[in-house]
Amino acid sequence: MKWSEDRERAGIVSGITGIVCNVLLCTFKFIAGTLTLSISIVADAFNNLSDAVSNIVTIIGSAVSGKPVDKEHPFGHGRMEYVSALIVAFLILVMGFELGKSSIERIISPQTLNFKPVYVIVPVGSVCVKAFMAAFNHVLFQKTGNVNLKAVRQDSINDCVATTATLVALVVAGNTRLVWIDGAIGLCVSAFVLFSGIGVLKDVLSPLLGQAPPKELVSQIKKIMLEEENIVGVHDVIVHEYGSSHILASAHAEMPANIDVMKLHAAIDRAEKRIERELHVAMCIHLDPVMIDDEETERYRALTEKVLFSYCPAYTFHDFRIKKTEEGVTVVFELVIPFDEKRPPQEIVREIEALLKGEESSLRAIIQVEHAYS
């Protein structure tokens, strides 16, 4: 089976493996925790039970995300993968909160543990099983990119840490008078689980909210477009991901205004088809006509470039053109500023207009400020 081609099957296999392992671990830990009177081991048992629920969610999410497109969902069901991973992230957070609550209660009211060396077998075995599950899901995630497997992998790592901590608490509290150590270590584990749960939540929310596309993908799209003879510039590359199986993108292509529109359309059509064939991205390219080899346009373009570089080297511009009126020349362009720019756009425009007028008193400017999409 080729995992890289079957995210759905990878998620289902991971979920079934996780359910079997977690149900067994929950049973053995609950028995061990009841016999030893250890709140951290009992909490860890219920943690494994919640993990089994997470595995069920992973199976459902992977199965639904693999459904084909339909009338109600023309872009497929790929984002269900993110939704199910979001549920797993919330389950991790709930488990961290409940573990913290139980640990605080045990610190306030400590209880002597019933320690016997044989009880160590269960936590040690649990760490081994969870380490295997973390490695197993890591391999599947690397090969398929299924974000559910990343969440489950992190959950397994959390369990390794939590169970190791409960083992330490069991040994220390069972052989010393530090009976409060059981609750204290449980509280530390709770903080770790909450922190990791927040990390998983952030990873899942980013694609749902609309994160910046991978720079490598944007570079490949631009490279293919610029290899077309009549495409002289590319900007405003926007990528929308509807799961791994359905990616849409759009871009603006600057093309010579003095060339027949049918030739320009043919170049765009070739670029779109090549991008879909090589990158598996459904592409839509917008044509921006620009003046090429026009001395006056090039002079004002160079002047604008000089002014912008002196104002802020991080600024770029595109869609440059000039308009001639009786009052003089007006330069029109779209200004791209960094996201960390603190000054308001209106102030930036006023200052750049003033600098352009300083170069040529009759020169006017129409400037549209925007941020880069990638």
Contact 61, 7 (CB under 8 A): no
Residue 175: HSE in the Cβ half-sphere, 13 Å Cα cutoff: 9
* pLDDT, tens digit (0-9, with 9 covering 90-100), for 330-361: 999 999 998 888 899 999 999 999 999 999 98
Q: What is the CA radius of gyration of the chain?
A: 29
Residue 41 C-beta-side C-alpha neighbours within 13 Å: 30
In the chain, at which residue ranges do the beta strands (DSSP E only) sit? 233-241, 247-256, 282-290, 316-325, 328-337, 364-371
Q: Provide the β-strand partners of residue 300.
A: none
pLDDT (0 to 100) of residue 356: 94
Nearest Cα to Cα of residue 274 among 226, 202, 313, 324: 226
3 pLDDT more than 50: no
CB-side neighbour CA atoms (13 Å) of 297: 14
pLDDT single digits (tens) 13-44: 888 888 998 888 888 878 877 787 766 677 67
Strands laid side by side in the 316-325 sheet: 316-325, 328-337, 364-371
Q: What pairs with residue 366 in β-bridges?
A: 332
Instruction: Name the residue among 218, 216, 222, 224 with its Cα closest to residue 273.
Output: 224
Cα separation, 14 vs 8, in Å, equals 10
| Distance (Å, whole) CA 34 – CA 315 | 65
The listed range with the strongest mean pLDDT (29-38, 67-76, 99-108, 270-279) is: 270-279
User: Percent of the chain, pLDDT > 70?
Assistant: 92
Q: How many CB atoms lie within 10 A of CB 25?
A: 26
Distances (CA, A) of 38 to 96, 116, 163, 180, 193: 17, 12, 12, 11, 19
Question: What confidence score (pLDDT) does residue 352 get?
Answer: 95
Report pLDDT for 5. Answer: 47
Count the neighbouring beta carbons within 10 Å of the beta carbon of residue 229: 12
* Domains by residue range for the chain, with CATH: 3-209 (1.20.1510.10), 215-290 (3.30.70.1350), 295-371 (3.30.70.1350)
State the pLDDT at residue 113: 63
135 versus 208: which is more confidently predicted?
135
pLDDT of 1 higher than 60: no
Of 335, 322, 333, 334, residue with least CA distance to 362: 322
| SS3 call for 38 | coil
Which of 163, 204, 169 lies closest to 22, judged by CA?
A: 163
3-class SS of residue 105? helix
Evaluate if residue 364 carries a pLDDT over 80: yes
| 3-state SS assignment for residue 251 | strand
Instruction: Using CB atoms within 10 Å of the CB of residue 262, give its burial: 0 to 12 exposed, 13 to 18 middle, 19+ buried.
Output: exposed
- The larger pLDDT score, comparing residue 26 to residue 118, is at 26
Contact 35, 175 (CB under 8 A): no
Residue from 142, 156, 165 nearest 196 by CA: 156
DSSP designation for 248: E
Q: What are the counts of helices (DSSP H) followed by strands (DSSP E) for the chain?
A: 10, 6
Residue 163 has pLDDT above 90, yes or no: no
> What local confidence, expressed as pLDDT, does residue 83 receive?
81
Is the pLDDT assigned to residue 174 strictly greater than 70? no
Answer whether 333's CB lies under 8 Å from 323's CB. no
Q: CA-CA distance, 338 to 237, in Å (whole number)?
A: 15
For 89, list phi and psi in degrees, rounded to 5.
-60, -40
Output the average pLDDT for the chain: 83
Residue 366 vs residue 92, higher pLDDT: 366
Backbone angles phi, psi at 248, to 5 degrees: -110, 145
pTM above 0.75, yes or no: no
Residues facing 364 on adjacent strands: 330
The whole-number average pLDDT for the span 149-166 is 81
Beta-carbon contacts of residue 141 (< 8 Å; ≥ 6 apart):
147, 149, 150, 153
Q: Which of 10-19, 116-125, 151-160 has the lowest mean pLDDT?
A: 116-125
